[in-house]
Structure 1
């Protein structure tokens, strides 16, 4: 189907999957989102549908969007496919699609924008752009929306629960490891919703459990909760002094749980842990010591050690005091807890190194 034969809409991954299954494939696609693994799987659906394995190397052209130039892209699109009706030209990590780019990126974007309506009928041009954080949306990106006249915009966001669990189950099956239904659901709820991370977590659990069955206790041991990830991200933004974004994450956490006291306690505990790690590092402790003391996987300890290095000992002490003060205020009746949480985040800017 030619891109000019139908109205192009912003679609999610599940709608896109159904379109590909029906054979409704057009000449232009832009994938965007945080989950690069899900994006790659989506692109692979087109490749499998349109290019046979024997001719794949000749008819799948991959171009690095970070170092691309327009002549290379146009030549790849214009060259006829070899022993196939279609060819796929993939521009991966197309950072020229971000709202603000350098002069070279802006020029490349403008050249592609002029050309995209004239793509040969035998070429499927696919681009993907990875969002910088979870607050980015394709409908707020002027460059992407401007191209929606000529290409289908596929937003790779979170899958619906049943599809999400099924897809994770399929990954376990592909890797030759059985997992019980109860454990699969528990794993799906606990793991961070990103298939690049999910695949690494699955590999870790398979390696840890070896030939025995996977238990919930294994999942608890090896995977931190998504709420802990949110708190980690929030503290990282505090370290970067990006308080507006930290407030956005705080609102997202409260939207999911609406538990202000639990949230302030979690932030306080996180700062306390960073403080303990900071002191430990100053005493000469290594990652192996923290794995034993905290009973956490190595990669988690390494992340926490890295984050603790972004703060001074004095900063962490003052941030803990700030959390205690905010928690005390929140226990008073008639206090706007959401506002107090915002005040806490704003006041972190006053804590000096």
Structure 2
């Protein structure tokens, strides 16, 4: 078993092995390092023909993986077969199907053809999770890469690149403030937060005031759930009363508005998903939210039509535009938004 630094060192030496398992909490870093293998092994022109991936959560049989590995690459020396989110590698998954799938891979991995680079990755749920016996057994046959969350200056550099790739500048002080407000250093989650703050701000430069507005942590999800719930129940007076309570406690109205807009956006995605017969687990995974929070969203979405949610989202955007570009009173604009959303 090696760490991510050992892996990068071996890649620099052009030492690419036949099979890899990436394991850890940071899915973003796993994906980034799998891209490194792809760039080393595959020609850009034929990448789509020589890169095959499977969702480990949906995979029930080994045959599709076997066929993908055995098929010769097209106009290339190598092909890559990836099984992402390979939950069957966890000791917590031990039903008959996952056990059979794991055993098949365990037997086959010794027989991988030289033209195939076979990669799997397992995302751990939290810091307390440990690498189990299944992966330890495979460690004797393939390269297991432990992906720990990066910290300090390296984390800051990575985040700065995320902003730069979106055409945004962020200086040292607001960058440190942004990092400080992250609950953990999971890059997959952090990238979502970078996207969120870039969507929120109109300016090219990300300043500390933007960080303060977005991450005033005293307003929590429960407050916003309650606020949206009152709107769904047509209780405009109570909803405005709750808004006034939050602002009286010193919460920034712009932050409340941003969280309301996010909540309505998630409600829309959940309602569309439910109508498409997606499960709670699928929606929680796609939206990267906790299953409990997803359950609340599903319940709330039943109290709105899609047209009502769309209108509420547009009202949020209009309120945000007025607050940023006119001398309109922010509190009044959000109160009007609540009233109009209630009686839509």
Of the three residues 110, 116, 119, the one matched with 1:117 is: 110
Of the three residues 91, 95, 117, the one matched with 1:102 is: 95
8 Å Cα contact 2:224/2:263 also seen in 1: no
Provide structure 1 residue ranges, at least 5 long, that are not aligned to the other structure. Answer: 1-8, 233-269, 311-353
Q: Does 1:90 align with 2:75?
A: no
Which SS does the other structure have where 1:81 is aligned?
A: coil
Which 4+ stretches in 1 moved above 4 angstroms? Answer: 273-292, 299-310
Number of matched residues?
Answer: 257
Match of 2:33? 42
Match of 2:135? 144
Offset of residue 157 of structure 1: 2.0
CA 1:85–1:218 in structure 2 vs 1: closer, same or farther (change >3 Å)? same
Which SS does the other structure have where 2:170 is aligned?
A: coil
Q: Residues 158-307 of structure 1: matches in 2 within 5 Å? A: 158-192=149-183, 193-223=185-215, 293=246, 294=251, 295=253, 296=256, 297-298=259-260, 299=262, 306=293
Root-mean-square deviation over aligned CA pairs: 3.5
TM-score, length-scaled by structure 1: 0.63
Question: In structure 2, what is the Cα distance between the partners aligned to 1:187 and 1:35?
Answer: 18
Q: Does 1:127 align with 2:120?
A: yes
Offset of residue 207 of structure 1: 2.1
Offset of residue 208 of structure 1: 2.1
Question: In structure 2, what is the Cα distance between the partners aligned to 1:39 and 1:150?
Answer: 20
Provide structure 2 residue ranges, at least 5 long, that are not aligned to the other structure. Answer: 267-288, 298-344
- Which digits, 9 at most, give the CA deviation of each residue in 1:107-129, with x for residues without a partner? 01011001101111111100011
TM-score, length-scaled by structure 2: 0.65
Which SS does the other structure have where 2:205 is aligned?
A: coil
8 Å Cα contact 1:38/1:156 also seen in 2: yes
- Which digits, 9 at most, give the CA deviation of each residue in 1:115-149, with x for residues without a partner? 101111111100011223331122xx110111001
Of the three residues 126, 131, 146, the one matched with 1:155 is: 146
CA 1:43–1:275 in structure 2 vs 1: closer, same or farther (change >3 Å)? closer
